[in-house]
Every structure is written in structure tokens, then in C-alpha cells.
């Protein structure tokens, strides 16, 4: 192979330069350099400012040809390349060369991107968002011993003392896209488990979930406890309230621990179930329970409050509950929530 490379290099100066660039980065990879050393070596080879950025950390390294941190303001990149790992883009490398790109810049950046991916994977955690489902399952499982769970978290990129929220998600959108939205610039890992998506994140912004996503968010306790909470919170989500933190449920979370037969046999739950044949009435009751007042329910339904009042009077008779009474409203809320839990 080396003899062939020598023959090729003698035929074409570009091939000679390309072979030298490849050999340069092969040596760096074998020496297991870290990202700063990789950036310094690349800047020296390219003889211009060189940059490396990993999306997962948000950290950017810019190095001058002298091997020091670039002190000049970032210039427009003359050439860029994506860092990919496991078919996911995890970062970017670029050159800030004044004037036109050098003929070897493209191959230099290609090899730099490959080397950066190898470094990210080795020194990790690898900053990909999608993770091995088996590893995620081990991290959140209550059956795994503590040491195995801690090791799984470490392999996923979370430090032992770092708080981790677990999010249970139902969506048709890619999980990595959702992870990037709800936890920008911080560690996040995602994997599908059965019919539910799982996201482990250092922090979660509920307001950043895209439309059409249902999500339950566990607290930042142990991952297995947070996973249990996330699944519970997911059961309480509705089209009107698609994202719920478990901590926001309070005593309502106790309903999820009530045996299904006990819920199913409750007279109020039975009465609410009968409303399933009348979607308009069910929507009115839902809006009233969510709003807590007649006028706010009318605003949600885009109806006149007198129309909503007539509907609620009829619904109250059907349920056998006085919806104008605070106790009656509480009963309706609990029955409606219990029915949703039974319906999954």
C-alpha cells in the first residue's frame, strides 16, 4: 500500500499532498490526542485559524496557526465540514482562511472531522443525541443494581452528581429533534422503548416541546424514579394540556395508583363514560373543569357564556352532579381524569 502511495504521489503533486494529510491525521488518531491538541495541530497544518464545535456541549475551539487561542473575532469560514457519529451530525469543523480556499482544504477538513468524531467518541461522552435503547433501559430500570445503573448513565454522558430528568414522550417526530429543542446546549439522550420515547436530559424546558407532542416529565431524582414519574405524568396529558410535569400533579398522581377496577366501578366515572357518545358535551365539561369558571370555559370554547351555562345544566343532570357547587366541580374533575387514565 505504501509503495502504491509513493508511486501515485510521484505522478500528481495533489495526490502527494492528500496522502500526507491523511497520514498526518492517522498519526494524530493513533496518538489519541484530545480536541484542543487536534485543533492546534490542524491550525498549524492549514496555516490559518481552525475551529471545532460540538453541538452537544456548545463549546467552540478556535486556534491560530501559532497554536494559541485565536484572539481575532471569528471570520467567515472559508471551508466547513460536518462531524458525524453514528450517522448523526454532532458538530462542525471549519477553516478561516483569508482569500480563496487551498486545494487541500477540503480533504484536510474531511480528515479533521473524522478525527474529531473519534476523539468525541473516545473521550466522550459521544455527543450524539440518540442512544442505545438497551443502555437507556438499564439506566432507568428499577431492577438494575445501583452500580450498573450508574455505569449506564456514565456511558450515556451524565456525571454521577449531575441531575437527570427523564421524559416519556409520545410523538411521530424524531426524538433527537425534540431533545435538541427541550434541552439546548446541555447533555440529552433519547431512545425508543416499546411505544414510548424516552429522553434523559440535564434540564427540560416544557415550553419548547413542538405541537403534537405528548410528554410527561419526571423530577431530577434517581433515573428509575424519574422514569416512573414521567410515565405517570404522560397518562394525565390531554390535547389541552399535552405536556405535564409530575410535580404539577400533586395529589392527582394518587389516581394513577388506584386499581383500575375501583376507578371503573365509581358512579361518577361511569356517568362521565356515558358522555363519550356526546363529544360536544364531553368537550364542554373538559373546558369547564380546566377553566374553573363559566366565563373562562366560554372563552376556551369560543361560545357565549349563556350557551355554555345551558349545556352545563344539562350535563349536570346527566351526571347527577351539581356543577355549580365547588364539591360538584371537584367530583367532575376527578371523574373526568379517572376516565382518561382508564382510556390510556
What is the DSSP annotation of 96-141?
A: E-SSSPPTTHHHHHHHHHHHHHHHHHHHS----SB--HHHHHHHH-
Residue 7 has pLDDT above 70, yes or no: no
Buried b (16+ CB within 10 A) or exposed e, 91-101: bbbbbbbeeee
More confident position, 15 or 247: 247
C-alpha cell at 10: 510521484
Residue 33 has pLDDT above 50, yes or no: yes
Q: Supply the mean pLDDT for the chain.
A: 87
Report how far residue 44's alpha carbon sits from residue 296's, in angstroms, rounded to the nearest whole number: 66
Sign of CA dihedral 340, 252, 220, 222: negative
Report how far residue 335's alpha carbon sits from residue 254's, in angstroms, rounded to the nearest whole number: 13
* pLDDT winner (highest mean) among 78-87, 101-110, 123-132, 299-308: 101-110
Residue 240 has pLDDT above 50, yes or no: yes
Q: Tell me: the pLDDT tens digits for 314-343? A: 999 999 999 989 999 999 999 999 998 998
Q: Which CATH class is domain 2-123?
A: alpha beta
Residue 3 has pLDDT above 90, yes or no: no
- Could you tell me the CA-to-CA distances from 129 to 143, 174, 254, 319 in Å, in that order? 25, 11, 33, 48
3-state secondary structure at position 192: strand
228 pLDDT band, cuts 50/70/90, is very high
Residue 50 has pLDDT above 50, yes or no: yes
Q: What are phi and psi of 120, to 5 degrees?
A: -60, -40
pLDDT at residue number 115 = 94
pLDDT at residue number 167 = 96
Closest CA to 154 of 196, 110, 123: 123
- The separation between CA 325 and the C-alpha centre of its own chain, rounded to angstroms, equals 42
pLDDT at residue number 65 = 93
pLDDT at residue number 89 = 79
| End-to-end Cα distance, the chain | 62
Q: What is the pTM of this model?
A: 0.63
* pLDDT winner (highest mean) among 45-59, 170-184, 226-240: 226-240
pLDDT at residue number 9 = 45
Q: Architecture of domain 258-343 in CATH?
A: Orthogonal Bundle (1.10)
Task: Return the residue matching grid coordinates 464545535.
Answer: 53
- The alpha-carbon radius of gyration of the chain (Å, integer) is 28
Residue 185 has pLDDT above 90, yes or no: no
Q: DSSP states of 134-161 as a string?
A: HHHHHHH-SSS-HHHHHHHHHHHT--TT
H-type helices in the chain, by residue range? 2-11, 13-30, 35-46, 105-123, 133-140, 146-156, 175-182, 223-235, 260-265, 267-274, 279-291, 294-301, 305-319, 326-343
Residue 127 has pLDDT above 60, yes or no: no
The full set of domain ranges for the chain reads 2-123, 133-255, 258-343
Residue 192 has pLDDT above 60, yes or no: yes
Pair 315, 281: CB distance under 8 Å? yes
Residue 25 has pLDDT above 90, yes or no: yes
Pair 227, 143: CB distance under 8 Å? no
pLDDT at residue number 163 = 85
| Number of alpha carbons in the 13 Å side-chain half-sphere of residue 156 | 33
Q: What are phi and psi of 19, to 5 degrees?
A: -65, -40
Q: Tell me: the pLDDT tens digits for 132-175? A: 888 899 999 988 778 888 888 887 878 767 789 999 999 998 89
Pair 149, 139: CB distance under 8 Å? yes
DSSP 202: S
Residue 26 has pLDDT above 90, yes or no: yes
- Could you tell me the CA-to-CA distances from 125 to 34, 155, 211 in Å, in that order? 13, 7, 30
More confident position, 121 or 336: 336
pLDDT at residue number 343 = 83
Pair 293, 309: CB distance under 8 Å? no
Amino acid at each position: 500500500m505504501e509503495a502504491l502511495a509513493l508511486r501515485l504521489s510521484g505522478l500528481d503533486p495533489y495526490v502527494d499532498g492528500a496522502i500526507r494529510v491523511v497520514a498526518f491525521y492517522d498519526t494524530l488518531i493513533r496518538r489519541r490526542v484530545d480536541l484542543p491538541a487536534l485543533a492546534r495541530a490542524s491550525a498549524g497544518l492549514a496555516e490559518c485559524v481552525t475551529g471545532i464545535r460540538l453541538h452537544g456541549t456548545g463549546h467552540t475551539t478556535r486556534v491560530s496557526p501559532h497554536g494559541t487561542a485565536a484572539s481575532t473575532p471569528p471570520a467567515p469560514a472559508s471551508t466547513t465540514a460536518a462531524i458525524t457519529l453514528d450517522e448523526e451530525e454532532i458538530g462542525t469543523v471549519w477553516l478561516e482562511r483569508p482569500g480563496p480556499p487551498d486545494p487541500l482544504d477540503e480533504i484536510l477538513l474531511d480528515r479533521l472531522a473524522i478525527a474529531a468524531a473519534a476523539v468525541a467518541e473516545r473521550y466522550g461522552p459521544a455527543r450524539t443525541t440518540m442512544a442505545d435503547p438497551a443502555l437507556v433501559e438499564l439506566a432507568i430500570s428499577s431492577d438494575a443494581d445501583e452500580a450498573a445503573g450508574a455505569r449506564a448513565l456514565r456511558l450515556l454522558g451524565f456525571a454521577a452528581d449531575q441531575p437527570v430528568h427523564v421524559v416519556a414522550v409520545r410523538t411521530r417526530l424524531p426524538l433527537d429533534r425534540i431533545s435538541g429543542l427541550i434541552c439546548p446546549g446541555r447533555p440529552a439522550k433519547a431512545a425508543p422503548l416499546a411505544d414510548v420515547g424516552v429522553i434523559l436530559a440535564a434540564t427540560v424546558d416544557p415550553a419548547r416541546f413542538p405541537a403534537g407532542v405528548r410528554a410527561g416529565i419526571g423530577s431530577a431524582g434517581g433515573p428509575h424514579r424519574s422514569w416512573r414519574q414521567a410515565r405517570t405524568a404522560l397518562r394525565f396529558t390531554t390535547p389541552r394540556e399535552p405536556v405535564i410535569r409530575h410535580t404539577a400533579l400533586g395529589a392527582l398522581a394518587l389516581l394513577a395508583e388506584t386499581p383500575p377496577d375501583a376507578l371503573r366501578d365509581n358512579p361518577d366515572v361511569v356517568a362521565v363514560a356515558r358522555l363519550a357518545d356526546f363529544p360536544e358535551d364531553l368537550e364542554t365539561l373538559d373546558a369547564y373543569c380546566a377553566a374553573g369558571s363559566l366565563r373562562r370555559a366560554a372563552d376556551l370554547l369560543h361560545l357565549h357564556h349563556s350557551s355554555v351555562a345551558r349545556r352545563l345544566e344539562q350535563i349536570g343532570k346527566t351526571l347527577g352532579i351539581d356543577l355549580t357547587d365547588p364539591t360538584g366541580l371537584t367530583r367532575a374533575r376527578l371523574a373526568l381524569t379517572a376516565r382518561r387514565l382508564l382510556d390510556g
